[in-house]
Amino acid sequence: MIKLRDVDKSIHHKLQRTFILKGIDLDVQEGEFISIMGPSGSGKSTLLNILGFLDGDFDGEYHFLDEPAHRLSERKKTEYHKTHIGFVFQAYHLIDELTVYENIEMPLLYRKVKGKERKGLVADMLDRFNLVAKKDLFPEQLSGGQQQVVGVARALIGKPKLILADEPTGNLHSKQSHEIMKLFKALNDDDGVTIIQVTHSEEMAAYGDRVVHLADGSVVEQNPYG
């Protein structure tokens, strides 16, 4: 599904070139659940941004579903956002002015899904994540864990093939974290959704099929099936 070859990401600062990512090779098969680990500043988030088409400013090759993503047009990238990729953020990033229901509904609006179908899809999601009773609440009225559940629901509503999660449990306490991870695991097992998460926690990383370790912008260790 994903194939990175010799991907570099650097910033220029007063004639100096600093590498954030250097020589990244990465293959991800459809249906995998991968955890990316590494110390702060090792380039985990940057890698995730590149994978999610949020950052197109890099050198090297990125093939997404056998298409050269490094040459994709802006329109095509937005298209992938909409149809193939769901994002889950550490800080949940729900829109404060929208209710739970509206937050989950939002990606569908951008895809011009018809009203009736939209209602059905959102209702399914609410049902699945036990959010029905909370659908008219605003984010600030929810606990962190609940907000992240909404965040996951929002990422899933577009039926993405790939979920990119940037420290999805970073702001949660342990019990909530495990619930979110179980959710991911179930999605991965039952629905075959590919999941790539960035995490600091060995415990959370263990939910994945394999772990990719980054240090100073390079992949130091891949343990396929380990």
Binding site for other proteins (CB under 8 A): 49, 52, 54-55, 75, 78, 81-82, 87, 89, 93, 95, 97-98, 102, 105-107, 109-112, 154, 158
Q: Which residues contact 195 (CB under 8 A, 6 or more apart)?
A: 32, 33, 34, 162, 163, 165, 184, 187, 188, 208
Instruction: Pick the closer one to other proteins by CB: 44 or 154.
Output: 154
CB of residue 75 to other proteins, shortest distance in Å: 8
- Encode 178-220 in three state secondary structure: HHHHHHHHHHHHHHCCEEEEECCCHHHHCCCCEEEEEECCEEE
Instruction: Pick the closer one to other proteins by CB: 19 or 89.
Output: 89
* Other beta carbons within 10 Å of 160: 22
Instruction: Pick the closer one to other proteins by CB: 31 or 56.
Output: 56
Instruction: Pick the closer one to other proteins by CB: 80 or 184.
Output: 80
Instruction: Pick the closer one to other proteins by CB: 101 or 207.
Output: 101
Q: Are strands 67-68 and 85-88 parallel, antiparallel or unpaired?
A: unpaired
CB of residue 225 to other proteins, shortest distance in Å: 32
CB of residue 87 to other proteins, shortest distance in Å: 5
CB of residue 91 to other proteins, shortest distance in Å: 8
Alpha-carbon 101 to chain mean position: 21
3-class SS at 218? strand
- State the Cα–Cα distance between residues 213 and 44, nearest whole angstrom: 9
Instruction: Pick the closer one to other proteins by CB: 32 or 166.
Output: 166
CB of residue 178 to other proteins, shortest distance in Å: 26
- Report the DSSP beta bridge partners of residue 16: 13
Residue 181 and residue 169 in contact, taking contact as beta carbons nearer than 8 Å: yes
CB of residue 203 to other proteins, shortest distance in Å: 26
Residue 203 and residue 40 in contact, taking contact as beta carbons nearer than 8 Å: no
